[in-house]
Chain A
Amino acid sequence: MTLALFRIDERLLHGQVIVGWGMRLGIDYYVVVDDDLAESDWEKDLYSAGLQDRRSAEFVSVAQAVEQFGELDARRGRGALLTRGTAEMRCLAEAGVLLDRRVNLGGLHASEGRRRVLTYVYLTPEEEDDLKAIHGACIGVTARDLPAGREVGLKDLIDVLE
């Protein structure tokens, strides 16, 4: 098990992930699970631009991530798997690859139809359902923007909405 972080963050590879989490956990490679990005060379370059010191990023579709999960999780070094939304992580959870993993909710910001839960977490009802499904198919879902931040359990997140 070399994938040490499973994170939902609509900004994907950005400062908090590469510096905040990546430096703390010693992340060597990132796996970005996103159907659109897996097809866009321009955006792959855009998102990879901040990686330094031989760190790498690979962009795969949801189907590829499920199919190749064993290989992605058995690489040398330590990895982080990122999705930009809850739906992609739900697909991975329901495919059974996250059974012994914890999922980190790191950033879903304000937009139409979303309700505020934390300063960095806003959810639609559909995203709330996704998180419940993920929670039931892994060790648990918790929100935390940075390693030093307060970890908030899914139940507390849902309580805010109810």
Chain B
Amino acid sequence: MSEVMGVVVAHGNLACCLVEATESISGVEGALQPISNAGCSPELLVARIRDAIGLRPALLFVDLASGSCAHAARLAGREGAGVPVVSGVNLPMLLDFVFHRDMEVSELSLRLVEKAHAGTVAYLPDLSS
């Protein structure tokens, strides 16, 4: 079974920065492809995502659950056999992804949402001492 390709679609430079950070921390290169929505019409953004997915098993990451990136990803992901879209992309999620690309993609999507949640913690100041 071929490994899942990750495509990160986000506002401004965010996708590029997240992919660079993931690669620099994990040492895994080529598992993620960044796409920015900057200057893109909705049709162009869908076309870019479609090209990035190709015919491989893929998983789409977006920053916000709604908005131009999520809309385009969900439209592109709806085509063919369907590609899952995971919103709220963050570094813990991507770091886990690059080491588990051999998993079945729907199962992997659910795992990554849990990893993203686990990576979001509020450390409140301890005022007791």
A, B co-complexed: yes
**Which residues from chain A sit less than 8 Å from chain B, CB to CB?**
10-11, 13-15, 18, 46-51, 108-111, 119-120
* Inter-chain contacts of B44 with A (CB < 8 A): 109-111
- Chain A positions within 8 Å of B39 at CB level: 109-110, 119-120
Among A14, A18, A110, the residue within 8 A (CB) of B71 is: A14
Contacts A46-B74, A47-B71; A13 near B66 (Cβ below 8 A): yes
Query: Which residue of chain B is the closest to A15 with respect to CB atoms?
Result: B67
**Given A10-B42, A109-B39, A109-B44, are A15 and B64 neighbors across the interface (CB < 8 Å)?**
yes
| Docked complex Cα distance between A46 and B64 (Å) | 12
Interface string of B43-65 (1 = CB under 8 A from A): 11000000000000000000011
Which residues of chain B have a CB within 8 Å of any CB of chain A? 11, 39-44, 64-68, 70-71, 74-75
Bound-state CA distance A50–B70 (Å) is: 10
Residue of A nearest to B87 (CB): A49
Return chain B residues, CB-CB under 8 Å to A108: 41
Picked from B11, B42, B43, the residue with its CB within 8 Å of the CB of A15 is B11
Q: Min CB distance, B27 to chain A, in Å?
A: 33
The CA of A65 and the CA of B30, in the complex, are separated in Å by 48
What residues of chain A lie closer than 8 Å to B42, measured between beta carbons? 10-11
- Taking the closest CB of chain A, its distance from the CB of B127, in whole angstroms, is 31
Q: With A and B bound together, what is the CA distance between A47 and B71 in angstroms?
A: 7
A50 contact set on B, CB distance < 8 A: 64-67, 70
The residue in chain B whose Cβ has the minimal distance to the Cβ of A119 is B39
Establish whether residues B68 and A11, one from each chain, have CB atoms under 8 Å apart when the complex forms.
Answer: yes
Complex Cα distance, B46 from A46, in Å, reads: 14
Q: Are B68 and A110 in contact (CB under 8 A)?
A: no
Q: A14–B41 contact, CB under 8 A?
A: no
Residue in B closest to A9 when the chains form the complex, CB atoms: B68
Contact A111 B71 (CB under 8 A): no
Collect the chain B residues with CB atoms within 8 Å of residue A11's CB: 42, 67-68, 71
5 contacts between A and B (CB under 8 A): A14-B71, A48-B66, A109-B44, A111-B43, A119-B39
Residues of A contacting B67 in the complex (Cβ-Cβ under 8 angstroms): 11, 13-15, 18, 50
Least Cβ–Cβ distance between B69 and chain A, in angstroms: 8
**Which residues of chain A come closer than 8 Å to B11, judged between CB atoms?**
15
A-chain residues with CB within 8 Å of residue B75 when the two chains form the complex: 46
Contact B65 A109 (CB under 8 A): no
CA distance A47 to B75 in the complex (A): 11
Of A49, A51, A109, A110, the residue contacting B70 (CB under 8 A) is A49
User: What residues of B have a CB within 8 angstroms of the CB of A111 in the complex?
Assistant: 41, 43-44
Q: Contacts A15-B11, A46-B71, A47-B71 hold; do A10 and B41 have CB atoms under 8 A apart?
A: yes
Known: A15-B11, A47-B66. 5 other contacts (CB 8 A): A14-B67, A47-B71, A48-B66, A51-B66, A119-B39
